[in-house]
Amino acid sequence: MKKVLFLLLALVGLSGTVSAQKKSKKDYLVTIATPQGTIRLVLFEDTPKHRENFLKLVKDKYYDGTTFHRVINDFMIQGGDPNSKDSDPSNDGSGSPGYTIPAEILPHHKHVYGALAAARLGGPANPNKESSGSQFYLVENHAGVPFLDNQYTVYGQVIDGLAVIDKIAEQPKDYRDRPTTDVKMTVTTKKMKKKKITQTYGYRYE
């Protein structure tokens, strides 16, 4: 009986720890600076693998100098490919850090305007819908793109600079949907109180 009671107490303690972690009073504000303006977004806590990977890449300055290499007006803008740093535009879209991320597809995270989602290899070659290790896209369609729901991992939301996504999507492009003038990015993060993020940008945490 004592062993059972101890186990219950241990589980309660663990539950309290997890709950406390989920209720952190601070969050990371991600800033993407581009020639068209600045985009700010937050990363979802219930997609931890994607969140942690994105934050690590930002810390390592992996995204700095990469471009939004594929833009489709009324759809989305895609970036995060390390190949987009070189002088050969023909290899854009095929680069990665050498690994994929297990899917974290959650039904309540939808492809709404400004959603941050992970690009991935499609078709039977990727039955588990694993995400690219670095490539991502931002939804530009103001009505969202619901046909992508439950197909790709959505792991963040733009909370400031939605008009910048529109400007990037409207850039002149070639037949591969690559902007004819590079749209380079610099990505940084800083910790802020969730209360301040809500007050400044109007984003409300659930």
**pLDDT per position as a tens digit, 178-193:** 999 999 999 999 999 9
- The widest CA-to-CA distance across the chain, in whole angstroms, is 72
Q: Is residue 120's pLDDT more than 80?
A: yes
pLDDT digits (tens, 9 = 90+) for 103-118: 999 999 999 999 999 9
* Mean pLDDT score, 15-30: 68
Superfamily of domain 26-201: Cyclophilin-like (2.40.100.10)
Return all residues near 139 (Cβ < 8 A) that are at least 6 apart: 75, 76, 111, 112, 113, 114, 115, 117, 145
**pLDDT for residue 126:** 96
Q: Is residue 127's pLDDT more than 50?
A: yes
pLDDT > 70 in the chain, percent = 89
**pLDDT for residue 12:** 40
Q: How far apart are the first and last CA of the chain?
A: 39
| pLDDT band with cut points at 50, 70 and 90 for residue 5 | very low
Q: Is residue 2's pLDDT more than 90?
A: no
Residues 109 and 129: their CA atoms lie apart, in Å, by 16
Question: Is the whole model's pTM more than 0.85, yes or no?
Answer: yes
* Mean pLDDT score, 79-105: 94
Vertex 145, ends 158 and 106: CA angle to 5°? 70
Map out the domains of the chain as residue ranges: 26-201
Residues 104 and 151: their CA atoms lie apart, in Å, by 10
pLDDT digits (tens, 9 = 90+) for 42-85: 999 999 999 999 999 999 999 999 999 999 999 999 999 999 99
